A and B are shown apart, each in its own frame.
Chain A
Amino acid sequence: MAAEDALPAPRRPDPPGTIDEGVGSGPPARTRVVLAEVSRRPHWPAGTHTELTQQTRVGEALVRGLVRAQLALALQLSAVVLVGLGGLPWLFAIAPSVGRMTVLGVNLPWLLLGVLSFPFLVAVGWTYVRLAERNEQDFTDLVQRPER
């Protein structure tokens, strides 16, 4: 197996679209593989495509809008976690009686942290994935709108 390509060594970053499969004979040189771009063909209208890749003002504005939307979404959901979970130590500290409450014989802090925090995190994550994909869909629709 002692081929050069056995290394999971850090790759040099490839420009998008590079496909350099190491299918060869003998000891092959270091192989570079880009997964996502394999078997993808450009299928967006030439006009908008050019605007995006050529860094025109319109293209730049489009990308800025998307980045801003995604960042706003991420920040909003982190704020939810910050309040929902991050507020707990503070709440327990200023209102010790909350920490002494018991539900089903278990102290509230144990229940909140040891059990309920995990479904809460998953729910926030699930919401993020849905909304982030919707943002991207909106962006795609905008870009692929037929040119007039």
Chain B
Amino acid sequence: MGNDLVVPAIVAVTLVTVAIGFYGLRLARTTSDFLVASRVVSPTWNAAAIGGEYLSAASFLGVAGLILKYGVDVLWYPVGFAAGYLALLLFVAAPLRRSGAFTLPDFCELRLGSRRLRTLATVFVIFIGWLYLVPQLQGAGLTLATLAGSPYPVGALVVAAVVTANVALGGMRAVTFVQAFQYWLKLTALAVPAIFLALQWQSDGRPAVTPPDGATFRTATTVVVEQQAVLTLADGQTLEVRPGDELSFAEGEPVPEVSGVANGATDWLLPSDAGSDDRGLFGTYSLILATFLGTMGLPHVLVRFYTNPDGAAARRTTLVVLALVGVFYLLPTIYGVLGRIYTPQLLITGQTDAVVVLLPEAALGAGTTGRLLAALVAAGAFAAFLSTSSGLLTSVAGVISTDVLGRGSVRGFRLATVIAGVVPTVLALNVSGLDVSQVVGLAFAVAASSFCPLLVLGIWWRGLTDAGAAAGILVGGGAAVTSVLITVLGPAMTGWPATLIAQPAAWTVPLAFTVMIAVSLATRRRAPADIGRTMLRLHAPDALRS
């Protein structure tokens, strides 16, 4: 499938991003310029910047792909991604800003005064950052492969190289304007095609999303299978397909049922029932917990909060972020639903994450409109990869250069950036089979089981000790990390063990809280002596600060 507008659109987005980065660099020459300049930025701009950095490949591509594949149960992904900002607002935003901590390791040292805890936090920041970077690069590889026909590694390598070079050479000064621009670009890139798609759906006579006789192919379609699956054809015959198999379907032919996918109307359209599907319900609650509580522990989200002038502004900014992100998340659902009608072949190929970029041409045809909209979507997708990857890479490289290499120099930071960029690139080239949103969901689970208890207890409970915090992070976060490693690298599992490992948050988050509280109570004497002063600093209204 070749669309000659896609590559120019992607190149344009990349160049604009790099150019604004370097232009901003000339304007802001010192750290103080960078930080103080942000004081004149209104909460709205700041919030758009946070949203721009937050809306990643998982949001832009992955959510729609999951909805296409699994239906109503995965609507909890967008709800949770947005609700994470509410949890951040309620429990963390203002006190964290007032603490003056720039990163999570900073917060550990500031609140508990422990260097060892700082090191532990550093390890988790790096792990979460890498885990979150992998799906961004995967998404880039997938998008380029789908739209421009390049091999999968090309897109991943291009984004990795651009982002690493940009961050290492100085574009990492995440100028508020670049990120804010990325937010509006991403919103436009999904909203405009969505309007055209809805109109097209109207003019096609509003075809049913889940027709009673099952879905059919609207045009003659040839499918190249990319993931092993078992198909059940309309006549009840089963067919095992392997990657590389080619299948042809005539116009109007029913779409076969695919193993591992929500096929029928009831499966896809309706939530999982109790009794028949307790594991589905457990998975749903686990996902809710991970996304609600994980956002506050993501390294690139916290760094941005520092650009608020004070605690009250941090609160208002978070509220605006919540609204902006909420508006954005109305859109992927439309793509996932219409994908059921216009691109059912993706269920067979297994590349459901490609639905957002393929849908415009599939629904509107390969005319000028369809190609222009496809190019717009591709540009938005690349904005998503670039902005989130830059934010993550900056955070990871920052902690590597100060806390691992122990050098504060620019050369140290550049070395750290390269290290931080190479590892996820290698991983991304080797795990192309995982759903983008699921990997991101795992990163949220790790963040929710390690940094969420640290932040919440650290901010609200005087009794937290360094030993308690370390034990909680090690046990809860460690359990989540183990689950992630088993999911990504381990053998396939079935039944309850598979559910507990694939969606670990429902047991690892309570575990982390329990251990953190219990060990803190047991080591009560280690509580910092100046806790009263710290609490005053975290919670005193900005007007009273002196």
Chain A residues at the B interface, C-beta cutoff of 8 Å: 1-14, 16-17, 21-23, 28, 30-31, 33-38, 40-44, 49, 52-53, 55, 59-60, 63-64, 66-67, 70-71, 74, 77-78, 81, 85-86, 89-90, 92-94, 96, 99-100, 107, 109-110, 113-115, 117-119, 121-122, 124-126, 128-129, 132-133, 136-137, 139-140, 143-144
Q: Tell me whether B281 and A93 are in contact (CB under 8 A).
A: yes
Q: Tell me whether A63 and B535 are in contact (CB under 8 A).
A: yes
Interface string of B522-546 (1 = CB under 8 A from A): 0000000000110111011111111
Q: Tell me whether B330 and A63 are in contact (CB under 8 A).
A: no
Chain A contacts for B34, CB-based, 8 A: 8
**A39–chain B nearest beta-carbon distance, Å:** 10
Q: Tell me whether A63 and B100 are in contact (CB under 8 A).
A: no
Among A9, A34, A37, the one with the most B-chain Cβ atoms within 10 Å of its Cβ is A9
25 A-B pairs with C-beta separation under 8 A? A2-B410, A5-B32, A9-B408, A10-B105, A16-B537, A22-B32, A30-B31, A35-B306, A36-B309, A42-B546, A63-B535, A63-B536, A70-B539, A77-B90, A78-B90, A81-B86, A89-B272, A92-B270, A110-B269, A115-B330, A117-B82, A118-B82, A121-B79, A121-B86, A132-B315
Name the one of A31, A44, A107 contacting B270, with C-beta atoms under 8 angstroms: A107
Q: Tell me whether B542 and A100 are in contact (CB under 8 A).
A: no
Those of B301-325 within 8 Å (CB) of chain A: 303, 306, 309-312, 315-316, 318-319, 322-323
**With A63-B535, A100-B270: A7-B326 Cβ-Cβ less than 8 Å:** no
Chain B contacts for A128, CB-based, 8 A: 89-90, 315
Chain B contacts for A30, CB-based, 8 A: 31, 408
Chain B contacts for A67, CB-based, 8 A: 460, 535, 539
Chain B contacts for A96, CB-based, 8 A: 270-271, 273
Q: Tell me whether B330 and A126 are in contact (CB under 8 A).
A: no
Those of B70-106 within 8 Å (CB) of chain A: 72, 75-76, 78-79, 82-83, 85-87, 89-91, 94, 97-103, 105-106
Q: Is B415 an interface residue (CB 8 A)?
A: no
Among B83, B87, B413, the one with the most A-chain Cβ atoms within 10 Å of its Cβ is B83
**With A10-B106, A93-B272: A122-B537 Cβ-Cβ less than 8 Å:** no
Q: Tell me whether B274 and A94 are in contact (CB under 8 A).
A: yes
Q: Tell me whether B173 and A35 are in contact (CB under 8 A).
A: no
Chain A contacts for B174, CB-based, 8 A: 8
Interface size class of B (residues with CB under 8 A): 35 or more
Chain A contacts for B401, CB-based, 8 A: 7, 9
- A interface majority secondary structure: helix
Q: Is B494 an interface residue (CB 8 A)?
A: no
Chain B contacts for A74, CB-based, 8 A: 90-91
Q: Tell me whether B106 and A13 are in contact (CB under 8 A).
A: yes
Q: Tell me whether A122 and B326 are in contact (CB under 8 A).
A: yes
Alpha-carbon gap, A13 to B38, bound state (A): 19
Chain B contacts for A136, CB-based, 8 A: 312, 541-543
Alpha-carbon gap, A63 to B532, bound state (A): 8
Q: Tell me whether A28 and B94 are in contact (CB under 8 A).
A: no
Alpha-carbon gap, A27 to B337, bound state (A): 56
Q: Tell me whether B173 and A10 are in contact (CB under 8 A).
A: no
Q: Tell me whether B541 and A36 are in contact (CB under 8 A).
A: no
Q: Tell me whether B32 and A31 are in contact (CB under 8 A).
A: yes
Chain A contacts for B270, CB-based, 8 A: 92, 96, 99-100, 107, 109
**A136–chain B nearest beta-carbon distance, Å:** 4
Name the one of A9, A36, A42 contacting B398, with C-beta atoms under 8 angstroms: A9
Q: Is B394 an interface residue (CB 8 A)?
A: yes
**B40–chain A nearest beta-carbon distance, Å:** 11
Chain B contacts for A117, CB-based, 8 A: 79, 82-83
Q: Tell me whether B79 and A113 are in contact (CB under 8 A).
A: yes
Alpha-carbon gap, A125 to B194, bound state (A): 28
Q: Which 8 A-B pairs have the closest CB atoms?
A: A42-B546, A118-B326, A93-B274, A136-B541, A13-B110, A92-B271, A113-B75, A74-B90
Those of B164-178 within 8 Å (CB) of chain A: 170, 172-174
Interface string of B395-406 (1 = CB under 8 A from A): 000110111000
